[in-house]
Amino acid sequence: MSTFLIEPGAKLANRYRLDHVVSETGGATRWKATDETLARPVGVWTFADGFPRTSEVVHAARATSRIPDARVTQVFDADDTAATPYVVEEWVSGSSLADLIAQGPMEPERAAGLVAEAAEAIAAAHAGGLHHLCLTPAKLMWSSGGAVKVIGIGVDAALLGANVANPAAVDAQGLGSLLYAALTGHWPGGPQDGLPAAPQGPAGPYPPAQVRTGITEPLATITTRAVLPQLAGQLVPGGPITSPADLCAALAEVPRLIPLPVTPTEPAPPPEQGTSRRTGEFDSTSPRRGARNGSASRSADRAASTRSAPERQPSRMEERAARTQGSPKKILIAVVALVVFAAVVVGAWTIGSMMRPGGGEEPTGPDPQASEDPTDSVELEALDIAESRGLNPHGDTDEHTENTPYTYDGNPETAWNTQGYRDPLDMIKPGVGLQLDLGDVREIHEVELDLTGSGYEFDVRVADGDGAAEDDYEVVGAGSGSGGSQVVELDEPASGQYVLIWFTALPNNGGEWRGTVNEVEIRGVA
């Protein structure tokens, strides 16, 4: 059956309903379709009679499905023996790089973070023997679920029959072009996906620092080395970047932020006062941006409990939350409540005095029911974190160690993410962790975490030494549930230099399992 005879509404494998054509590439047609079995949108490639590379595309799609990186577009099905051969892929909803920079270039740190994620995905594909070779702004997506996705790995090269002598260098230059576009708003190879061509000089496109001001020198140098290798070692220090892995290593040395989410099509409702230490402006775009229960309300609940607890100063996270509260109406309510409470206490004391034998004389001497000596309590403080790393003893990938300092930089808009996994964590490995080095042995009483997503399970573990596996640490507390700010209070104070947040379950975000820690604060006695 010829692709050009297939009409919208046709069904493949009695399951995939073709809805409408998205693009055509020399006899191969990409459709937006519906998987009626699982009731989800998918992308489907079909091929015209006589298309010469059908088997190569199907073979590449099957190989792509084995890449262990959730940032690679998933392949669900592929068949070149059916009457109409097809490939079924994940349908990625969201914004392409071209969409993200349509109104102007990205902040340099966010451009670096976005392209670094893409470079890691391409590097994983190269390790599996696959390449892209056709990177453009439309191929790099920020999904509506809040994840980076690279479209077309393996499949695009097979569709075009691309065969190059040095595919690693081609993909490195393609990634450099994506970084150039994110930083400048121009495409270095001419107009592409709605982006204008970069200004041209005698040696080709101008380096990014000459197109836009404000790009840091290290990031401008990395971009030039990748996208303009002929200028490496001449205009900028260092040799050409010739592989995605080399680009990953270079970007690990510059400041990076998580990419911005997709711009909402409708204005988000205003946040409720006091529910979050964030502004709430990102509610409609991703779980990371949703409203949260503020740490201040949880702190108030803990303060109102009757159990004895060490005195401590408000945490930095609580202070930020407190600054979002305090309206005149709330202050008035608080004053009225305080007056009523005082009246109740005075009345109860008066009645009690009248009922005591011998009149209202107060007994002298120590009260056997008195609470613990105030001198026995301790004042907690936020402990300094000297170093950190991602811990993955049951895998061969690094858990984004370069981003772990974002968890204690005081900025809730920066974050550390685990790797993204295509299956629940407990189906793959025992867990992954965030290790925090306090610089010396400290007395630890509680840990406050600000998390994104729902479905966490984790332990808090402590050790004196820099353990390489979770069993090297003592379990001193546990937490679970949804994101937002939550405090894990230790039943007994623990002593140690290293604190490990050991995750055994992660949230499902857009089809992948990934954990996000925005801020962490360890409190105890220095």
Q: What are the C-alpha distances in Å from 79 to residues 151, 350, 366?
A: 20, 86, 85
DSSP 311-369: -BPPPHHHHHHHTT---HHHHHHHHHHHHHHHHHHHHHHHHHHHHSTTTTPPPPS--TT
Query: What pairing do the DSSP bridges indicate for beta strands 75-79 and 200-201?
Result: unpaired
CA dihedral 300, 302, 308, 309 (to 10 degrees): -90
Low-confidence ranges of the chain (pLDDT < 70): 1-5, 259-377, 510
200, 204, 210, 211 alpha-carbon torsion, rounded to 10°: 50
**pLDDT confidence of residue 346:** 53
* pLDDT of the residue at 260: 55
Other CB atoms within 10 Å distance of the CB of residue 58: 22
Q: What is the pLDDT of residue 318?
A: 47
pLDDT at 345: 53
DSSP codes of every residue in 126-160:
HHTT-------GGGEEEETTS-EEE--TTHHHHHH
Pairing assessment for the beta strands 381-382 and 200-201 based on DSSP bridges = unpaired
Please, are residues 514 and 287 in contact by the beta-carbon 8 Å criterion? no
**CB-based burial label for 309 (10 Å; 0-12, 13-18, 19+):** middle
Which of 201, 232, 251 finishes a domain?
251
Report the CATH number that the domain containing residue 123 is assigned in CATH: 1.10.510.10
Domain CATH for 436: 2.60.120.260
Output the pLDDT for position 98: 94
Residue 50 falls inside a structural domain: yes
Tokens describing residue 303? 């303060």
- Same-domain pairing of 31 and 176: no
The number of distinct structural domains making up the chain is: 3
Structural domain ending residue among the three candidates 211, 229, 251:
251
Q: What CA–CA distance (Å, rounded) separates 502 from 460?
A: 6
| Residue 7 forms part of a structural domain | yes
Say if residues 170 and 244 touch (Cβ distance below 8 Å): no
Please report, for the domain that includes residue 31, its CATH number: 3.30.200.20
Whole-number pLDDT of residue 283: 32
3-state SS class at 170: helix
Q: Cα–Cα distance between 207 and 188 in angstroms, integer?
A: 9
Asked if residue 430 belongs to a domain, the reply is: yes
467/508 same-domain check: yes
Question: Are residues 139 and 24 part of one domain?
Answer: no
In this structure, are 83 and 141 located in the same domain?
Answer: no
Per-residue model confidence (pLDDT) at position 482: 74
Residues 166, 126: Cα–Cα separation, whole Å: 12
CA distances for 80 relative to 22, 50, 86, 88, 503, angstroms: 21, 13, 6, 12, 41
Q: Which long-range contacts (CB under 8 A, 24 or more apart) does 55-62 make?
A: 55/80, 56/158, 56/161, 57/28, 57/87, 57/155, 57/158, 57/159, 58/85, 58/87, 59/158, 60/130, 60/154, 60/155, 60/157, 60/158, 61/87, 61/89, 61/154, 61/155, 61/158
Residue 79 within any structural domain of the chain: yes
- Helix, strand, coil percentages (3-state) for the chain, rounded to 5, are 30, 30, 40
Beta strand segments in 361-473, E? 381-382, 387-391, 416-417, 432-463
Same domain, 394 and 463: yes
345 in a structural domain: no
- Residue 159 contacts residue 153 (beta carbons within 8 Å): no
Among 195, 225, 251, the domain boundary falls at 251
Helices (H) then strands (E): counts for the chain:
11, 19
- Distance between CA 363 and CA 10 in Å, rounded? 91
The burial class, CB within 10 Å (0-12 / 13-18 / 19+), for 423 is exposed
- The verdict on 126 and 86 lying in the same domain is no
Instruction: Tell me: do 78 and 103 sit in the same domain.
Output: no
**Same domain as 230, residue 178:** yes
239 plus 143 within the same structural domain: yes
Q: By residue range, what is the domain housing residue 493? A: 381-525
Examine residue 366 and state whether it is found in any structural domain, yes or no: no
Tell whether 98 and 45 lie within a shared domain. Answer: no
pTM: 0.56
Residues 85 and 122 both lie in one domain: no
Q: Residue 350 — φ and ψ, nearest 5°?
A: -65, -45
Residue 332 lies in a domain: no
The pair of three-digit structure tokens given for residue 505, joined into one six-digit string: 């379950």
**Is residue 408, in this structure, part of any structural domain at all?**
yes
Q: Do 60 and 104 belong to one domain?
A: no
